[in-house]
Structures are given as C-alpha cells and as structure tokens.
C-alpha cells in the first residue's frame, strides 16, 4: 500500500492518465475522479476520465467535459473509489496501475493502491493527495470534491462522518466550493418520479428481528409505475433505515437480466461488509453492497438469513 506522499510522488512522475469510476457510479467516485483529473491537468498532465456509460444526469456535469476522446492511449490508469474488480465500469477490461480508495475490503487489485479506510469518502483521500502534489485547487475541483465528500456521508448525517470529514468540507468551501447550490441540487431537489417511488418504498417495507431489521424491495414494475429514471435512484438505500427502532436495513433493487442489487446499511452490527462478502460483494462495515442472480423474493430470503447469521 502507498502512503499519501508515495502516491503524490508516483503521480507526479507520470504524464498521461486515464481515470476510472466504478460501476453504478455515485457522487463519490464521479466527484473524486473528476477532481483528480482536473488537478492533474492543472499540473500540466494529460488526464481524462474513462467514459463510464452509467453516470447519471445528476453527476454528468462533473464528468462529461473530461471524458477521454476515442483512441486516447494513457501511460497509466488510476481507479478512483473502486473497491474491487467486479466494480470496474462497463466495458473496461484492463488492470489499473494505481488505485485511490477508502474501502477497507479493497483486495489490492491494482498495481499499487493508496487506501485510506479511515476516510468517510474517497474525496477526502483525493484532497490529501492533490495537496501533497501541490496541485492548484480551483472552484471546479472544490465543487467536485464537495460533491464526493457530502454524498458519501449522506449530507454529513451518516455515522461515517468524522471531525476530519467536516474539516475537509469546510476547507473545500474556503477553496471555492458552492455548497449552497450543491446542497440544493444533491439533497433537496427531487423529481416527481422519485417522490412517487419513495412513497411506494415506505408502504411496502418489511421488518424482521422485532423491528430492528428493515428490508425494502424495489421492483422494475415499481420503477415503471412511479415514472422513475436512473438518476432518481441516488441514495435510495437510506430510506429503509429511517424508521424508528431500525438498527440495520437492506434495500434490494431488481435489475434487468435477472439480477438483484443489494445495499446493506448497519450501525456496525452486523458487519455489512461480511454480509455482502457472502455474495461476492463488499464495502464498509456500516455500508456495503452485492449482487445476486435470483428473484427479489429469493434475494430477500438470502440476505435476511445472512444478516441474522452475522448479527451479534
């Protein structure tokens, strides 16, 4: 594993970059990767983002100006906020030379990894690396990093938020991040389809373990009936945990092709990463994910059994 200073030295020694975001990209991977790309460019490097086709309209403005042109050949590829090879973006088949990440379950799939598992977001890790590289941080970089930091800790409401997380956010505001506009866009603006879907989720959730485990199952039919689009799925996993008395929650989302995506959120018990590892996934102790090839009903039975088995 590389330290921040070792990572900064390695990145300063290279000139042509391709930067990866992960499959089903969220604000942290897109914001962190976009900020890293802009920081490299400010240092005179050639840097582009891999054209991840799954980036939604919410985060596309951060990434779209930075997409690699057809035929671009990098010297090195850097995965940002990518926890495992199973999270490579659609279409990518190589092996990154470097990875910047904050997932404790990261197995070290890249040639070299700078892993900061104590960080609430990868955006905090990228901020440290850019500062160690003496990269200029303008308003665009600060905006992207603020989006990364704030979304991965649920607008600073999740238990992964630390004093360092808040200090990073304050520093980014001082560097020019428009936190007022970003908070409105990312946390207080919803489509009619999203609000309709939330109503469906709240009325169909099921409880286990005397009400301490809550499970929400979102079918393709629900999405169609609600008129919800892919960009309406951001932070969907937080809904099931809002009910009083809930200590752990699971959000199951039916995907095309017979797959079900599971997002597990806990207070640390059970360990969400251990639960998801049973199904080939991973992440953090309090927030992890995995995928299963089965029906929604089968996925619910499997994940609930795994949760109860790990609960101490």
Residues 173, 112 within the same domain: yes
pLDDT at 94: 94
DSSP-derived letter for residue 238 is G
Supply the DSSP string of 35-103, one letter for each residue. HHHHHHHHTT-EEEE---TT--TTTHHHHGGGBPPTT---SEEEEES--SGGGPPTT--S--SEEEE--
Name the helix (H) or strand (E) containing 225. Answer: helix 220-226
For range 90-104, the mean pLDDT: 96
The pairing of beta strand 259-266 with beta strand 248-254: antiparallel
pLDDT at 312: 87
Residues 248, 289 within the same domain: yes
Residues 159, 254 within the same domain: no
Residues 225, 289 within the same domain: yes
Q: How confident is the prediction for the chain on average, in pLDDT?
A: 96
Supply the DSSP string of 102-125, one letter for each residue. --TT----SSEEEE-TTSS-HHHH
Per the CB < 8 A criterion, the answer to whether 262 and 280 are in contact is: no
pLDDT tens column, 254-269: 999 999 999 999 999 9
pLDDT tens column, 154-200: 999 988 999 999 999 999 999 999 999 999 999 999 999 999 999 99
Residues 163, 71 within the same domain: yes
pLDDT at 45: 98
Last-in-domain residue among 155, 187, 219: 187
pLDDT at 282: 85
Residues 257, 174 within the same domain: no
Residues 169, 200 within the same domain: no
For range 293-298, the mean pLDDT: 97
For range 269-281, the mean pLDDT: 94
pLDDT at 67: 98
52, pLDDT greater than 90: yes
Residues 253, 278 within the same domain: yes
Closest CA to 7 of 117, 133, 165: 133
Sheet holding 46-49, edge to edge: 46-49, 16-20, 76-80, 98-101, 112-115
For range 204-221, the mean pLDDT: 97
**In the numeric block, which tokens belong to residue 217?**
């199952």
Residues 132, 86 within the same domain: yes
pLDDT at 133: 98
Residues 197, 100 within the same domain: no
Task: Classify residue 196 as exposed, middle or buried by CB count within 10 Å of its CB (0-12, 13-18, 19+).
Answer: middle
Residues whose CB falls within 8 Å of the CB of residue 97, separated by 6 or more in sequence, listed in order: 76, 77, 78, 110, 111, 112
- For residue 31, give its domain range: 4-187
Distance, CA of 270 to CA of 268 (rounded, Å):
6
Q: Helices 163-174 and 122-132 sit at what angle, rounded to 10 degrees?
A: 60
Task: Classify residue 192 as exposed, middle or buried by CB count within 10 Å of its CB (0-12, 13-18, 19+).
Answer: exposed
For range 3-8, the mean pLDDT: 98
Last-in-domain residue among 187, 219, 246: 187
pLDDT at 155: 95
Sign of the alpha-carbon dihedral angle for 49, 39, 85, 240: negative
Name the helix (H) or strand (E) containing 16. Answer: strand 16-20
293, pLDDT greater than 90: yes
Which of helix, strand or coil describes residue 2?
A: coil
Residues 177, 204 within the same domain: no
pLDDT at 159: 87
Residue 302 maps to which CATH number? Answer: 3.10.310.30
Last-in-domain residue among 168, 187, 206: 187
Closest CA to 47 of 66, 60, 28: 66
Q: State how many domains the chain has.
A: 2
Per the CB < 8 A criterion, the answer to whether 18 and 89 are in contact is: no
Distance, CA of 162 to CA of 159 (rounded, Å):
8
Percent of the chain residues topping a pLDDT of 90: 95
Residues 25, 102 within the same domain: yes
Residue 32 maps to which CATH number? Answer: 3.90.1640.10
pLDDT at 169: 98
Which of helix, strand or coil describes residue 288?
A: strand
Q: CA angle, 86 as apex, 85 and 91 as ends, to 5°?
A: 90
């Amino acid at each position: 594993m590389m330290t921040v200073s070792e990572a900064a030295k390695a990145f300063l020694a290279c000139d042509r970059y391709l930067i990866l975001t992960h499959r089903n990209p969220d604000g942290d991977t897109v914001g962190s990767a976009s900020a890293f790309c802009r920081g490299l460019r400010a240092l005179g490097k050639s840097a582009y983002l891999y054209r991840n086709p799954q980036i939604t309209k919410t985060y596309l403005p951060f990434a779209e100006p930075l997409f690699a042109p057809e035929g671009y050949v990098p010297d090195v590829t850097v995965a940002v906020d990518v926890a495992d090879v199973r999270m490579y973006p659609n279409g990518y088949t190589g092996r990154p030379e470097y990875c910047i990440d904050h997932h404790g379950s990261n197995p070290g799939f890249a040639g070299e990894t700078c892993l900061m598992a104590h960080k609430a977001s990868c955006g905090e890790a990228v901020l440290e690396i850019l500062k160690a590289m003496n990269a200029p941080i303008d308003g665009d970089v600060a905006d992207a990093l603020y989006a990364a930091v704030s979304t991965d800790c649920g607008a600073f409401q999740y238990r992964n938020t630390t004093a360092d997380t808040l200090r990073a956010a304050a520093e980014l505001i001082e560097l020019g991040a428009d936190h007022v506009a970003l908070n409105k866009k990312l946390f207080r603006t919803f489509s009619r389809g999203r609000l309709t879907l939330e109503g469906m989720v709240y009325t169909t959730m099921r409880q286990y373990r005397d009400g301490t485990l809550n499970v929400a199952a979102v079918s393709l039919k629900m999405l169609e009936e609600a008129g919800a689009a892919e960009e309406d799925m951001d932070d969907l996993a937080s809904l099931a945990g809002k009910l009083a008395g809930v200590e752990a929650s699971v959000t199951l989302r039916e995907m095309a092709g017979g797959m079900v995506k599971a997002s597990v959120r806990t207070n640390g018990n059970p360990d969400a990463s251990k639960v998801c590892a049973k199904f080939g996934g991973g992440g953090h102790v309090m927030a992890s994910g995995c995928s299963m090839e089965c029906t929604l009903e089968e996925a619910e039975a499997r994940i609930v059994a795994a949760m109860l088995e790990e609960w101490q």
